[in-house]
Chain A
Amino acid sequence: MSLGLGLHSGYAQKRKTENLLLIGWDGVRWQDIFTGVDSGLINDPVFTKRPGSLRTMYWNDTVEVRRKKLFPWFWSTIQQNGQMYGDRTIGNKVDVANPYNITGPGFTETLVGFVDSSINSNNKVLDKNTNVLEFINNQKEYKGKVAVFAMSNLFDYILNKPRTGLMISCDTDQVDRPDKEFRLLNEMQQIAPKPFGERPDLLTYFQAKEYLTLYHPRVMYLEMGETDDYGHAGSYDFYVSTLHSQEAMIASLWNYIQSIPQYKDKTTLLIACDHGRGGMVKNQWTGHGPHIPDSKDIFILAMGPDMPALGEVSTATQLYQGQMAATIAKFLGLDYVAEHPVMPVIATMFKK
């Protein structure tokens, strides 16, 4: 018992992170993050119906300018204060370690922290492995202070809601709290058109934000999925404008929490995807999976008070999706241990 406490608080002396904001961004390509809009896709009328307006808003011949037009906040605030992994054009790589390159296995690897080869589909099967959010929620200090808001109803299974008892609101879940803010959101969700069969990301986001305002979780996980839906639909117009808007939503949430003493300068942000999309064969950008090898290529963006401000990481390193779980725990000074193997912490996210 005393050993356990020592283990868990070993990093506590200098650590400033007391809260985590984690974003799971379904099916976003590293190519768009690091190189901005793709001219091959903009100029293909099959994928882009309004090339003129995309070009006007987001194109520039210089890649550094182009990516900043698409993601003005990533390429200012995170670039200056955080770390950005996954720009393969300069040799920095992040891969999905599982062989499937789809959502269920991807978010599972991210949150349990290793590759369980039995998780091979998007089927709704309760995951038997311990995950890092559950691990954190089982620490006394964080009990009931971990909340998950997701578009995809897979999260009840990925995080094994019946076993873990985590606060999870996904897909059609209403927030069963008395506050009037949730009354409007619940009403909107009941009636909102659902072109992809799941609730709009906007409502997931505002549920999360209102929950944060009212209940101050220490760890908030937010998953948004329209990016993947528009990719599968083959609409580069909508994919790109959704990337741009949702980056602004993430920025807005970050700026908002800086106005709350509990979170200000005490919160670490981490943004990652579940899988990439095709890139080498241009028309494969709409898909992903084992048959599209480069859809294993992903990115990780992070920023927080304990993190060296390396900006775009340009070293020739190889990271894996499964490393995020232990890294997330370590931000809070916790050493993630489970009954299964755990991939190593991303050491460069911490000061030496």
Chain B
Amino acid sequence: MKCILLLLAALGMDMVTSHAQSGKTENLIIIGWDGVRWQEIFTGVDSAIMNDRAYTRRSSAMRAEFWDDDPNIRRKKLLPFFWGTLSQQGQLYGNRTLGNKVDVANRWHVTLPGFTETLIGFADSTVDGNHSVPEKDANVLEFINNQPAYKGKVAIFATSRLYDNILNVKRSGLIINCDSEEVHLPGTAFQMLNEEQRLSPQLFGERLDLVTYFQAKEYLKEYHPRVLYINFSEPDNYGHAGSYDWYISTLHGQERLIADMWNYIQGIPQYAGKTTLLISNDHGRGDKVKSQWTSHGPGIQDSKDIFILAMGPDIPPLGEMNNDQQLYQGQIAATLAKFLGLHYVADHPVMPVITTMFKK
């Protein structure tokens, strides 16, 4: 194994850039969306949860805004960008009602193992639930950042403070701004955002996703990263709080933020027509036992069920994937690298690229 790794290292750049010829993608925007269920993505609001007074206090408002008997209309009411632009130009994986499956490969179904699997590219069995220690395994963002063309051009903005350890900031040297960290860069916008972060109500002990988003957006405007990763946490927090009202309004509101980012970058030459967007979650939430929608974990079997949404200049516009297929969370890492024409190799196993995201 060691010999092979050394050999790969010796082959160096050729190996790493061998797929670069045909790709149009030069930038990546990645959204790590904590605890969003595939059920809402593909079938819209859930009538059973909406009609349960324990979870939904303003069910008539929710019904008026988001309900329709036809799930295809319903999901578009909740997530108009995904079921408009993204379904026309990209791919949506994980609708189990059609037999299209995405699973977490790790056994935990919680945040830290989920985002770790996503970014290192396999299910590291030494990851112990949400017990956070600096991750020993290399991750794909670090791998990209170590390529000369991308050095210092990879930035992570996260509501969760777990990212410093998931991405091992000390080792990887990645630009990571998470939770209560301020952005120490010139400009009145960052100054205001830092202050907003300090003062905003912390309903869940973390900064607001809105602040995370605008730190990321201001950073993109000023510093033009090639790879931008954004993590939102509020859907998971509202899920655990058992508030379907706020969980739903947060999904709807944050989908608008994602659409805003996508639309915004189309006005910038560096990004327009050269950027691939990928959206995924760390874990699902319960559904078969309806009351388990509030939670997830090894004790809730179907919280392993997740989704992946993606669109970009190299992705065949297949829309909602309806073939009988099984993908895993850990495949995202190598796929992200391949969008940039890079072949992700590491000193640990790497799950295979999602081949259907690329033209043959």
Contact = CB atoms under 8 A, between A and B. Distances in A.
B192 A184 contact: yes
Interface string B258-277: 00100000000000000000
Contacts of B243: 233, 235
B14 interface: no
Contacts of A187: 214
B246 interface: yes
A249 B189 CA distance: 19
Nearest to A188: B214
B256 A191 contact: yes
B189 A242 contact: no
A337 interface: no
Given A184-B214, A226-B201, A242-B203, A206 B241 contact: no
A184 B218 contact: yes
A188 to B, nearest CB: 6
A245 B199 contact: yes
A205 B189 CA distance: 16
Q: Which of B193, B210, B254, B260: most chain A CB closer than 10 A?
A: B210
A185 to B, nearest CB: 8
B241 A193 contact: no
Contacts of A226: 201
Contacts of A210: 192
B254 A202 contact: no
B201 A191 contact: no
Given A184-B189, A242-B203, A248-B199, A193 B245 contact: no
Interface residues of A, number: 32
Interface in A178-234: 180-181, 184-185, 187-188, 191-195, 200, 202, 205-206, 210, 226, 233-234
Given A200-B210, A241-B201, A245-B200, A193 B254 contact: yes
A142 interface: no
B132 to A, nearest CB: 19
Interface string A145-187: 0000000000000000000000000000000000011001101
- Chain A's interface: helix, strand, loop or mixed, by majority? helix
Contacts of B196: 202, 206
Interface string B87-104: 000000000000000000
Contacts of A50: 241
**Which residue, B57, B195, B199, has most C-beta atoms of chain A within 10 A?**
B199
A18 interface: no
Contacts of B249: 193-195
Contact of A252 (B199, B208, B252, B260): B199
B165 interface: no
A237 interface: yes
A191 B208 contact: no
Contacts of B189: 180, 184
A140 to B, nearest CB: 34
Contacts of A206: 192, 195-196
B241 A237 contact: yes
Interface in A288-312: none
Contacts of B210: 188, 192-193, 200, 202
A199 to B, nearest CB: 11
A238 interface: yes
B202 interface: yes
Contact of B188 (A180, A233, A238): A180
A169 to B, nearest CB: 16
A16 interface: no
B202 A245 contact: yes
Interface string B48-88: 00000000010000000000000000000000000000000
B79 to A, nearest CB: 13
A101 interface: no
Interface in B164-209: 188-189, 192-193, 195-196, 199-203, 208
26 contacts: A49-B241, A49-B242, A50-B241, A180-B188, A184-B192, A184-B193, A184-B218, A188-B210, A188-B214, A192-B210, A193-B249, A193-B250, A193-B252, A194-B253, A195-B249, A200-B210, A202-B196, A202-B201, A202-B208, A226-B201, A233-B57, A233-B245, A237-B203, A241-B201, A246-B201, A248-B199
Interface of B: 57, 188-189, 192-193, 195-196, 199-203, 208, 210, 214, 218, 241-243, 245-246, 249-250, 252-254, 256-257, 260
